[in-house]
Amino acid sequence: MNVAVGSARRRAVRRSVPEPEEWKLIRATVGQILETEAPSAAVREWDATCTYPAHLFEILAGQGFTAMPFRAENGGADAGPAEMVVVAEELGRRGMDIAAGFGISVFLGLMIEAHGTREQRDTLLPGVLRAQQRLALSMTEPGAGSDAGAITTTARLEGDAYVISGQKVFTTGANLPNTTLVVSARDRSSSPASRGISLFLVPTSTAGVAVNRLDTVGRHILGTNEVFLDNVRVPRTALIGPSGEGWAVLREGMTLERLFTCGAYIGGFETVIDMVLDYGSQREQFGRSIGEFQAISHPIADMYADLEAARLLTYSAARAVAQGEDARTLVSVAKLFVTESYQRATNHAMQVFGGYSYMNEFDVHRFWKDARIGTVSAGTSQVHREIICRALGLRP
């Protein structure tokens, strides 16, 4: 049967809000790069074979997209958060792994730009801006996920070196070449417990570091890993920011990460609606296209309404961040709504495609798997609800 598999060439979804010409240029340029270097069939193959397309990210870097949010003095373009959401949205149309392959090193690089030493910036940022140096966040542990204060990985100071020991899990991209980990570790006792945690730069090539790729349901392009740190020695200069203040340093960077994540899922959302519209117009049952049946079409209308609301929430939060406001609650509202509504949308898309949704030659199941982890990564939906509850005065 000849049916659509989700090519990004179609744009059935129209944006209801006018955009600046600069945003349109970003969309057009990123879209053309993806059309040439990352067509849907190629992304599907990369996911199936666990292949990391280094050339794609180097091309994006060569066009200046990786450098966009960095300061001009460090080779960047001083772009704002909204422009980065635009990039995320276009990359997300090919899937979350494509967006994350671009974004993780960027937001960790921005953290180093803001809180790292001059030596750290000079050593790492040029490679990050060229997409030849990768960064990966190694924070979650088998017994410490949303509860950052429960981290048990330790870093003890011995002369001019820290000795780090512990185990991490769910570290995205740690398996990739030329990767430096940003490791959270407890370097002193403190109350509250989160105040005793620091961040350290640990190249995966360092003696005592072992990376084991995990067998996951989806997100196969970058790879999800557990990391073992067995008396790993790093110089004192590997500490990022003040000792014991790692959580505060990391939390600041999470704002951009969560905005970028929202943008990426909005892009995926748009592709999923395009796929459903394509398939719904081609697939016939009972003498007419299935898109004409109310049971199919009304949920698609809801999907489109959710997409528009998700986009407005995300760009509103990005605008607040750009204006220097405390936008943590707004970002949590956007992250909660985007990922929960995207999960509903992909679930309906799977139902529309029926048995074809379960076949690897179609893209819809890959977006469905992206959406399923979306309510867990970058802060679970429950964590974001708690943030919102505190803002509403429902928590101390």
Report yes or no on 386 lying in a domain. Answer: yes
pLDDT, tens only, 298-319: 999 999 999 999 999 999 999 9
According to the model, what pLDDT value does residue 339 have? 98
46 and 140 both lie in a single domain? no
Last residue of a domain, one of 115, 132, 149: 132
Number of domains the chain contains? 3
Q: Which amino acid is at 262?
A: C
Residue 263 and residue 314 in contact, taking contact as beta carbons nearer than 8 Å: yes
342 and 267 both lie in a single domain? yes
Last residue of a domain, one of 216, 244, 272: 244
Report yes or no on 2 lying in a domain. Answer: no
Strands 134-138 and 179-186: parallel
This prediction has a pTM of 0.94
Domain that holds residue 312: 248-391
Whether residue 118 is predicted with pLDDT greater than 70 in this model: the reply is: yes
Q: What is the CATH number of the domain that holds 383?
A: 1.20.140.10
156 phi/psi in degrees, rounded to 5: -110, 140
- Locate 387 and state its tokens: 């943030």
335 and 292 both lie in a single domain? yes
Q: Across all residues in the chain, what is the average pLDDT?
A: 93
141 and 158 both lie in a single domain? yes
pLDDT, tens only, 14-58: 666 678 999 999 999 999 999 999 999 999 999 999 999 999 999
Report yes or no on 14 lying in a domain. Answer: no
pLDDT band at 149 (very low <50, low <70, confident <90, very high): confident
User: Which residue do the tokens 């220097």 mark?
Assistant: 324
Q: What is the CATH number of the domain that holds 44?
A: 1.10.540.10
- Terminal Cα-to-Cα distance of the chain (whole angstroms): 58
